[in-house]
Structure 1
């Protein structure tokens, strides 16, 4: 059963046989884990066993722990970490064996990185999911992050003006841990007074954490302010230019294939599947396809190539050129900026 982190509290009474915490957001993973352990302690689960699937991991050790009597005559929690989220055929067989040996005195918590869609369809995952709760811990973005932020503001009983909320959103989107720590600080500094953006400026530095994928999504959506903000943060965090160029080339190559198909009146239906574009991401590409011409997309590819050439031949990371490239995802910019050569 899939349960999102903000709903987990409603699915802890009674505790299920196992809980699957998978995702790349450290705050959500740790918060979910803490909630489960808190309820387990209330239910008498006092002994904790921690296992990690490392090289040459002995799966029989998990079976032994499942069947062993507690040293303290209490109920026990077994936490198994799967660093690659790949238990293999042996691990899958062990999971199936354990789920057929229900033990009310043992609670199994399995943790690991974000699962791909195909992994949630695997036999080992379905075996565990049928007896427990799956908690996907992906970092919320956009409106989902805003809802999360509003929820945490209410949790800490803070009063913030609209501009202060907007500033927090801009500063911390992509970094739940920093956002939560900052709200805790605000609770200490201003527990009973309304906080505006001017006060926030004196409290915090910009601690957003973004990925190259968020940058390219902002480009595809033509969210210019957001793209420029993410780009500046990636630069400040020391993200290498080749990584950014990889992401940009990937999206532009996909756009070129899609636009070329449209120009020849081909259906995009087969291309969506061939290019592995999920339904959730189709609106991003559709928006860019509706906005940009084939010539403009080709111009963007030439611009990215010029930045890459400058990097490889001269060792220069052209952040100004990359900022310029972001602007050219807006067709209006081509009329006034396209004459500027990125390889100058």
Structure 2
């Protein structure tokens, strides 16, 4: 299995088409652009028919199999796009995919689209069969740390000269929303034909369209980044996120931190991470938060969170965004007015 990022795909396509391409990830722009690039390369090599199926319980697998086996002297080469379910294929679907993977031939190019697969799903027979002659493209939305590099590469590909400050502003305004970011770069290229994108020029044309989840907010709190946490909170509020979901997400993290804080006095942190099944890519961040946050802060945060939940239960329509901002500042090690903590 060849594993690539979308920006590496075009170079691979120039080397020659593989039998199958697995486009896996959560980013609509990266998924669509990768599919378009593959279809364009395939069309140039005589793949004139393009078919697409969304896999679900009502999928007509016999029609799919017939399509794969339709070979004649006059049949044109064809591409077949299969959209996996949101949670990946189930056991029954895995069996059908295993059958289909054995029907591939030189005049049929398979493109599978879906979310990132779990390790268990990658052990399915259809996946292992395709692995020998396929390319997997990771279409995950870049995280905050990787986004500036992605933006710089995108700008360079469009012959745009983007300075660092302008890059930072674009990342701030469009994190988690690559489609809007790509559209912003297109708009800027039209506004400034000389291609020189300085901070003042970019400021005139951007709007805050970043997209976040509650997990981004919690991660910002763990890292003690108050400005980022408040920015995320503002965007979540504008998108109509439910405060109760934010509270529940933070509650799980606070309980984990308190347990780790208490148990780490007599048990190595690595052992505790294994016990509580903390993901490897979160361990350094949680370890830093444990060193930074005092037990008193954690207790105060739990008190404020509990009181906020009670407020919501008593009057679901009451706004608690001020309390969520207070929680953000408290966990980012900022001084809080007593009214937030003591009620």
Would you say same fold, with TM above 0.5?
Answer: yes
Secondary structure in 2 aligned to 1:341? Answer: helix
**Root mean square deviation, CA, Å:** 2.1
User: Where does the alignment leave 5 or more consecutive residues of structure 2 unmatched?
Assistant: none
Pick the aligned partner of 1:104 from 103, 106, 111. Answer: 106
Q: Is the 8 A contact 2:81 2:112 kept in 1?
A: yes
Q: Is the 8 A contact 2:251 2:305 kept in 1?
A: yes
Query: What is the rounded CA distance, in whole Å, between the counterparts of 2:321 and 2:257 in structure 1?
Result: 23
Q: What's the TM-score once normalised by structure 1's chain length?
A: 0.92
Q: Which residue of structure 1 aligns with residue 272 of structure 2?
A: 271
Q: Is the 8 A contact 1:59 1:90 kept in 2?
A: no
Indicate how the Cα distance of structure 1 residues 262 and 10 shifts in structure 2: closer, same or farther if over 3 A, else same. same
Query: What is the rounded CA distance, in whole Å, between the counterparts of 1:72 and 1:170 in structure 2?
Result: 53
1:109: how far off?
Answer: 0.8
Query: What is the rounded CA distance, in whole Å, between the counterparts of 1:105 and 1:160 in structure 2?
Result: 43
1:260: how far off?
Answer: 1.6
Q: Could you give the per-residue CA deviations for residues 28-49 of structure 1, whole angstroms, max 9, x where no partner exists? A: 1111111111111111111112
Confirm or deny that 1:220 pairs with 2:222: yes
1:153: how far off?
Answer: 1.1
1:323: how far off?
Answer: 1.0
1:321: how far off?
Answer: 1.3
Q: Which residue of structure 2 aligns with residue 165 of structure 1?
A: 167
Query: How many pairs does the alignment contain?
Result: 340
Q: Is the 8 A contact 1:95 1:127 kept in 2?
A: no
Q: In terms of mean alpha carbon deviation, does 218-227 or 2-11 score higher? A: 2-11
1:243: how far off?
Answer: 1.5
Indicate how the Cα distance of structure 1 residues 61 and 277 shifts in structure 2: closer, same or farther if over 3 A, else same. farther
Confirm or deny that 1:339 pairs with 2:332: no
Confirm or deny that 1:138 pairs with 2:140: yes
Indicate how the Cα distance of structure 1 residues 26 and 102 shifts in structure 2: closer, same or farther if over 3 A, else same. closer
1:338: how far off?
Answer: 6.2
Indicate how the Cα distance of structure 1 residues 206 and 70 shifts in structure 2: closer, same or farther if over 3 A, else same. farther
Query: What is the rounded CA distance, in whole Å, between the counterparts of 1:196 and 1:70 in structure 2?
Result: 57
Q: Which residue of structure 2 aligns with residue 310 of structure 1?
A: 311
Secondary structure in 1 aligned to 2:56? Answer: coil
Q: Which residue of structure 1 aligns with residue 38 of structure 2?
A: 36
Confirm or deny that 1:59 pairs with 2:57: no
Q: Which residue of structure 2 aligns with residue 206 of structure 1?
A: 208
Q: In terms of mean alpha carbon deviation, does 278-287 or 52-61 score higher? A: 52-61
In the TM superposition, 1:71-220 aligns within 5 A as 73-192=75-194, 194-220=196-222
Q: Could you give the per-residue CA deviations for residues 104-138 of structure 1, whole angstroms, max 9, x where no partner exists? A: 11001111123234333444333322331122211
Query: What is the rounded CA distance, in whole Å, between the counterparts of 2:320 and 2:306 in structure 1?
Result: 12
Q: Is the 8 A contact 1:45 1:76 kept in 2?
A: yes
Q: Which residue of structure 2 aligns with residue 245 of structure 1?
A: 247
Secondary structure in 1 aligned to 2:159? Answer: coil
User: Where does the alignment leave 5 or more consecutive residues of structure 1 unmatched?
Assistant: none
Query: What is the rounded CA distance, in whole Å, between the counterparts of 1:87 and 1:201 in structure 2?
Result: 44
